[in-house]
Amino acid sequence: MWGLWLVLASLVQAPPSEGVLVDKIVAVVNKDIIAWSEVKEAMASKPLRFLLSPQGAPKEGEILQYLIENKLILQEVSYLSYLGTDPLELEVALKHTMKNYPTEDEFRKTLEGNAISQEALKGLLEPQLRGVEFIRRRNRFTADVQDPGVVLQLFEDWLKGLKEKADIQYPE
């Protein structure tokens, strides 16, 4: 019994100079944080790696930018209940994501070649899908929200505006 007590006491009384870093903040997006553990988790996601890079090896900065975009979108549309995936919304979200690939064919071949299911893809694209739904609702009286090209342009302009007005910090 005393042996267990001594072990526990020695664990509690570890010198302060031997602190262990559990996680670290890599970005603050308005008032939300992105921790290093989130970046590592995203880097470990095979579908996400191939979504962001044709070779499946995106840089940490690309992963971080993806996470920042997602935070910005979700902050803006958090009040909006997500209705589900409309085929047009999925098409626009995919076209926005395909900008890392030379052609749509290469993007689709990469997904198929790496056995990335449509459900996994929808999970990764949920923030973009919610953002596209928001754009379609917001512009339903002023733009052709049935035209994927128009919706894509509106979405990308909106996302650019979110990034410009956001307070994004990268603590050391």
Question: In this model, does residue 150 exceed pLDDT 90?
Answer: yes
Write the class of the CATH domain 23-169.
Answer: mainly alpha
Q: What is the mean pLDDT of the chain?
A: 85
Mean pLDDT over 129-139 rounds to 92
What's the pLDDT at 54?
84
Q: What is the pTM of this model?
A: 0.77
Tell me the Cα Rg of the chain: 21
Helix, strand, coil distribution of the chain in percent, nearest 5 = 65, 5, 30
Mean pLDDT over 143-161 rounds to 95
pLDDT (tens digit, 9 = 90+) per residue, 2-17?
443 333 344 444 455 5
